[in-house]
Structure 1
Amino acid sequence: MTTADTPHRAEGWTAAVRRRLDLGRLLPLGGPADGSWIAERAAAAFLRDAVAGAGAVLGTLRIAPAGPHGATEPVVPGPPSALPPGPLRIEADFAATARRPLPATADALRAGLLEAAERLGLAVDEVDLRVTGLLDEEPGRPAPEPAEAHPAEPEGAAAAAAAGVPGVAFHTRALGSPVHSGPGHVRVELATARGQRALDVARAVREAVAAAVEGRPAVAVLVTAVVAPDRG
């Protein structure tokens, strides 16, 4: 390696670390038998869009384990530092007008977040909301937050099989490669199309990839973005 190569390698490593941090927590989709995860950033963007126009403006929104108990081992190795399957909790701040009682606004917001989490396949047991401000006027519907995705062309049997599953928008490479193979297992990284339940798409991908790869390896799926159906 020459001296000139060093800055380029350092820049590549820094970009890779930044992409990983931008994903946030890697949250379990479904239960231990589902072998699927979704990036917190992707899930939070979907939840925000789902409750936009509910008469409140969300501030900070985090998704975390609901408590120290209830987590179980997944059936396949997950992505590095991924959370084990178990119940989740949504924590969010919001601002709203006083035109209707704040508890009623909070109840509507909580119901919307729970419904949106179910549409993804997140096992959310709790939603903790905190009022952080009052608005003078009803908020308008904000533009959807752009998905942070790093599209990659499918290469190999596993990637091609996953790409053919309905609901897969495209492959991504936030963790470095759209397909990671290890002894007896494969991990596939992708974006799902909005309007398709991410967990159902991930389950179908696992089946398709296992059938397409010699030896029927255990398959894990990481969803890093949920995008409009016509994107990509």
Structure 2
Amino acid sequence: MHNRMNIGIGRHILWTVLAGMIFLYSSCDNYSLLEKQEESFLKYYAVDIDDNTGTVVIQTTDGYAILSNFENVGGKDMILIITDQFGRQNPGYPVFFGTDRDDHGYSMIQVDNGYLISGSSTDATRKHGYLANISHDGTVLWDNVYSYYRDLEFRDACLTDDDLIITGYAKVDPGDMDAIIFKTSATGDSIWIRYYKMSDRNDVGEAIIETPGPP
């Protein structure tokens, strides 16, 4: 009698453990899709990288694009992750990119050939503006570093006609931060830069959008 009870209890424990393992596996598997995930989900990406922080997420035609910043032994770089509409990471991602300096991405927009990331690249003496264009398949098409002032940092960008319009700040040494608008071609070639000093304090352009012209 006791042996049968022990066997029954043992089987119950075994099935409970197996059910828990199956649930845990399905929850952690990045490519699995539970019925309730059609309404809500929680996913983790690049979990083996320390100090990995998601900075920007935008909706794409068939999912999401995530810009993340992380710090490694060699410095600070960026990660691009593309997912489907349920947060499942696309094959070939994440993509790591950046320079041999300390890089930080602040914004990301979708352009015809992929994604444009704007931010900064810092060396031992100054901060430079940074732009990168990454294709839909994760290829870095081009990235440029811009140096016009003591410090230059890009915070946001928008696409207008065939050109890029970027905002952020520039700092003349010595001096305060001045908000800027910087125009480049679609491939990052400099066209002009304007700065706006609106006070005796630090002024930073945080976001930029295209507005309609006069009727």
TM-score, with structure 2 as normaliser: 0.30
Higher helix fraction (1 or 2): 1
Higher strand fraction (1 or 2): 2
TM-score, with structure 1 as normaliser: 0.28
